[in-house]
A and B are shown apart, each in its own frame.
Chain A
């Protein structure tokens, strides 16, 4: 029992998991409907885009950077894909994946080049491109929405069902990206180099890590995954709107990543923690309408959740360190 307790205190992931269980239990007591399969489906449909964005953001933050432009990269790649469907209805429905991911990668690469070649801080570069890419979205689309009838029905079907228990494909896709990110970060050399770079940027080049290549790669992956999220946005909602699509995405994603225990100081963060952070955010989003909280209050609640999660984490971790010291003393 003692060991279980120590383990829970030391593992960040366990802490978030406990938070999710407690949250669901409390909401379930107040609104029993929250604990049904239907509601689980709603939660799972809320999270895929955030999950994909969070994987990208996790890599960036582990490398001790931040990418604020992901929402705008999402919007721009989605609008271009949507316009392609509108002007060339004859292209196969899956073309949008390549277009969107390709455009996203290009935008991410531009971020990466500005950061590595000109040695600009990522927070400023991506704040600039957050606005720049959003502006380009308005310009290329003439500020016109891509309506439902232009989005191929096969694409929209990805978010509705699949042969496997009728769970929509988009959910598998999101968890697939998470699994791939796990393998990448934990089992490839370059994946570990991202952690080394974030953990000690001064020492990294002394140990033969090509800092610029790794940084460039991380921002390009961030763009590519934002592009993937862009085409999935079209699938999930069936339209692309230049002013709404992806707006505020960076906020939700960074929130999920930070709740998931990824350290803003770099070098620390796991895929499991990030996934749990995304799920906690999903549960909160799904619970709010059930509890009768108006949509206008949502942002305030999100913000509060981040701060509360950080406060809980801080006190839990301090106790964890104490527990570790006690364990050592006992040994």
Chain B
């Protein structure tokens, strides 16, 4: 049994007081006060990066707050790591549960919980009995002797919930649990969550889906830019109110690109589908046009980009590049067709960390710099020097490993790489994420110049001001489907968010 006293239902189970969190110099959470009551399901909502997940991780001991205190049942507590959190009755269930795939379900349930010395015997029979009892309690049918590997995400979540019950957790935090689930699995999860609430436990439910907040939750807390904006009974707020509270930040002004002439269609996509990721996506991008692709994380935007570039090809639908119907099954074909792609995850998919800047710049044009298979160093250096000058990349030397540059300069290097391929279509996935403001402005300018030079640009961004400032048109995706195609005049924070947030009773429409 955890060392949690019996809770008084009129007192908060846990109170956060002035919780702040900095990562390096960036403040991601600022002075958050929040009381979580026993027997409630409490929704945390907010845009990507608003701080809701960070707050949840602080409760669960994954992160430690930079400032502030947590009060559990009236007593100030430290929660330095997840094991202490679990002992104090707090369990965080990740969207994709962390498990040991080769161990059995029953072992996953007890691992890290049982006391005793290292050479104590493993009580297999009792472990299996206990695990079966927990599964019965949850009303799910999972063979507890089978390995975790191969269980569906929904079943893995059930195992995690069972683990929370095994340690009799009073606070169970679910971080976007429904994103990977089917509607039927969601219904099961909700039924279980309500039952746990009725037992007097506190459920914290992080989600993007407002209809779920409405069906399931008792209260809702809205985060924006690291601040807690409001905590209200769900009955007192409309969907529109919630969206307004989520986005209500002042619009920053950026210069729109100089009126570039918009030409013929450079990229046309029709009914592109990859089951499980996106369906029936159709749009076009013209020469000289910047088309934004907005939506929430997980809406399928990056998957569309990866499909277009042949990283994970779509299974159906057609793609027309510069008037020619094409099939792209791998990136080299995409490059040959004049497509280029700056991926979202710079560190793992963009840079060759230990290679020199100049090699990173010329990585996409092996034939040009190495006619006959032998690299012409002089040519490579000349091209790289030219790029560095043009894009104002700040570095010590061309021979420097790219890993030593700042994020913004790494990103410029990747852009330089693609410029050398002279692309006609440029797909940018969150190009300014993690880049400081000054470099960001330079980037916006460059993107504008590229469009003015007649290139077609598809810009994926989660930052609404960025989409509004740069784009001629904004497409919005939600849950794998295109839900809006907004002209520059129609696009606003409200219209984009309305299309991005899956809402009650509204059907997704293909634009």
Q: B: which residues have CB within 8 A of A?
A: 81-83, 98-103, 107, 111-112, 114, 116-122, 124
Chain A residues positioned under 8 Å from B124 (CB to CB) = 187
Contact code string A257-274 (vs B, CB < 8 Å = 1, else 0): 000000100011000000
Residue on B nearest A200 in the bound complex, by CB: B100
A117 to B240, CA, bound (A): 55
Chain A residues positioned under 8 Å from B111 (CB to CB) = 192-193, 196, 207, 209
- A196's partner among B83, B100, B114 (CB-CB below 8 A) is B100
Residue on B nearest A190 in the bound complex, by CB: B118
Question: Contact at A267–B100, with CB atoms within 8 Å?
Answer: yes
A190 to B102, CA, bound (A): 16
Question: Contact at B100–A208, with CB atoms within 8 Å?
Answer: no
Q: With A192-B103, A196-B111 known to touch, is A187 a contact of B98 (CB < 8 Å)?
A: no
Q: With A186-B122, A190-B119 known to touch, is A200 a contact of B101 (CB < 8 Å)?
A: yes
Residue on B nearest A197 in the bound complex, by CB: B100
- Does A219 interact with chain B (Cβ within 8 Å)? no
Q: With A189-B117, A189-B118, A189-B119 known to touch, is A199 a contact of B83 (CB < 8 Å)?
A: no
- Does A308 interact with chain B (Cβ within 8 Å)? no
Chain A residues positioned under 8 Å from B121 (CB to CB) = 187-189
Question: Contact at A189–B100, with CB atoms within 8 Å?
Answer: no
Residue on B nearest A206 in the bound complex, by CB: B82
Chain A residues positioned under 8 Å from B107 (CB to CB) = 192, 196
Question: Contact at B117–A267, with CB atoms within 8 Å?
Answer: no
Question: Contact at A203–B100, with CB atoms within 8 Å?
Answer: yes
- A312 to chain B minimum Cβ distance, whole angstroms, is 21
Question: Contact at A196–B103, with CB atoms within 8 Å?
Answer: yes
Chain A residues positioned under 8 Å from B99 (CB to CB) = 200, 203
- Does A195 interact with chain B (Cβ within 8 Å)? yes
- B112's partner among A202, A208, A268 (CB-CB below 8 A) is A208
Question: Contact at B120–A203, with CB atoms within 8 Å?
Answer: no
Question: Contact at B98–A206, with CB atoms within 8 Å?
Answer: yes
Question: Contact at A267–B102, with CB atoms within 8 Å?
Answer: yes
Question: Contact at A195–B100, with CB atoms within 8 Å?
Answer: yes
Q: With A195-B100, A206-B98 known to touch, is A188 a contact of B118 (CB < 8 Å)?
A: yes
Query: In the complex, which range does the number of interface residues on chain A fall in?
Result: 20 to 34
Besides A188-B122, A195-B103, A207-B112, 9 other CB < 8 A contacts?
Answer: A188-B118, A189-B118, A192-B103, A192-B107, A192-B122, A196-B103, A200-B100, A204-B100, A208-B83
Residue on B nearest A203 in the bound complex, by CB: B98
Question: Contact at A267–B101, with CB atoms within 8 Å?
Answer: yes
A191 to B107, CA, bound (A): 12
Question: Contact at B102–A199, with CB atoms within 8 Å?
Answer: yes
A193 to B121, CA, bound (A): 12
Contact code string A158-200 (vs B, CB < 8 Å = 1, else 0): 0000000000000000000000000000111111110110111
- B355 to chain A minimum Cβ distance, whole angstroms, is 21
Chain A residues positioned under 8 Å from B101 (CB to CB) = 199-200, 267
Question: Contact at B112–A189, with CB atoms within 8 Å?
Answer: no
Chain B residues positioned under 8 Å from A196 (CB to CB) = 100, 103, 107, 111
Question: Contact at B82–A189, with CB atoms within 8 Å?
Answer: no
Question: Contact at A189–B122, with CB atoms within 8 Å?
Answer: yes
Residue on B nearest A214 in the bound complex, by CB: B118
Contact code string A229-271 (vs B, CB < 8 Å = 1, else 0): 0000000000000000000000000000000000100011000
Chain B residues positioned under 8 Å from A202 (CB to CB) = 98
Most A-side CB within 10 Å, residue of B83, B98, B112, B116 = B112
A208 to B163, CA, bound (A): 14
Question: Contact at B118–A200, with CB atoms within 8 Å?
Answer: no
A199 to B100, CA, bound (A): 5
- A207's partner among B83, B102, B119 (CB-CB below 8 A) is B83
- B348 to chain A minimum Cβ distance, whole angstroms, is 15
Chain B residues positioned under 8 Å from A204 (CB to CB) = 100
A195 to B101, CA, bound (A): 10
Most B-side CB within 10 Å, residue of A192, A198, A204 = A192
A-B pairs, top 6 by smallest CB distance, nearest first, are: A207-B112, A267-B102, A190-B118, A208-B112, A199-B102, A199-B100
Chain B residues positioned under 8 Å from A268 (CB to CB) = 102
Most A-side CB within 10 Å, residue of B81, B100, B114 = B100
- B141 to chain A minimum Cβ distance, whole angstroms, is 12
Residue on A nearest B111 in the bound complex, by CB: A207
Question: Contact at B122–A187, with CB atoms within 8 Å?
Answer: yes
User: Which residues of A from 3 to 41 have beta carbons under 8 Å from B?
Assistant: none
A90 to B107, CA, bound (A): 52
Chain B residues positioned under 8 Å from A267 (CB to CB) = 100-103
Residue on B nearest A198 in the bound complex, by CB: B102
A304 to B467, CA, bound (A): 59
Question: Contact at B102–A195, with CB atoms within 8 Å?
Answer: yes
- A86 to chain B minimum Cβ distance, whole angstroms, is 38
- B89 to chain A minimum Cβ distance, whole angstroms, is 16
- A189's partner among B81, B83, B120 (CB-CB below 8 A) is B120
Residue on A nearest B112 in the bound complex, by CB: A207
Q: With A206-B82, A207-B111, A207-B112 known to touch, is A188 a contact of B100 (CB < 8 Å)?
A: no
- A200's partner among B83, B98, B116 (CB-CB below 8 A) is B98
